[in-house]
Amino acid sequence: MLATQLTDAIWNAIADLVRRSASQREIYFVQVTRVDKAARVLWADEFGDLAIPMVHHTFGFPYYDTQPSGSQTKRGEDYETNDAFRVKIVMPKAGDMVVILDPEGAKSTPICIGTIRSPGDYWEGG
């Protein structure tokens, strides 16, 4: 059978199979265009009007408080239940470069996994 003898349905099925077998882009490096600090979401032009949530780990910090008498008191041991001893997330600002992970592909369920903190042209070697 020659390729010219294939029906449109077969050609469409082949094209669909090729399209589905291609891996979708999952990691994006994008510039933040807008931020909602209260909701902890951000927006980027590449994702249109889709709000992108931040992902972070919560950290706690017990510390020693030294009194004028020289005695020390350990504070914050209950950081897992006491918000006063938890580190808060710092949201990126508009214009910051962030790393977006889109595990489903097709820009459907993106999450921001971090902010690139290196200045300038880090990939250009400069």
pLDDT at 76: 77
- 46 Cβ partners below 8 Å, 6+ apart? 28, 30, 100, 107
Of the listed ranges 37-46, 48-57, 80-89, 116-125, the least confidently predicted one is 116-125
Are 115 and 96 in contact by the 8 Å Cβ rule? The answer is: yes
Q: Which CATH number fits domain 23-54+89-126: 3.30.160, 3.30.200, 3.40.50, 2.40.50?
A: 2.40.50
To the nearest whole percent, how much of the chain has pLDDT over 90?
31
SS3 letters across 5-48? HCCHHHHHHHHHHHHHHCCCCCEEEEEEEEEECCCCEEEEHHHC
Comma-separated ranges of CATH 2.40.50 domains in the chain = 23-54+89-126
Name the pLDDT band for 87 (thresholds 50, 70, 90). Answer: confident
Q: Which tens digit of pLDDT belongs to each residue from 1-32?
A: 677 788 889 888 888 888 776 656 688 999 99
> Distance between CA 47 and CA 39 in Å, rounded?
18
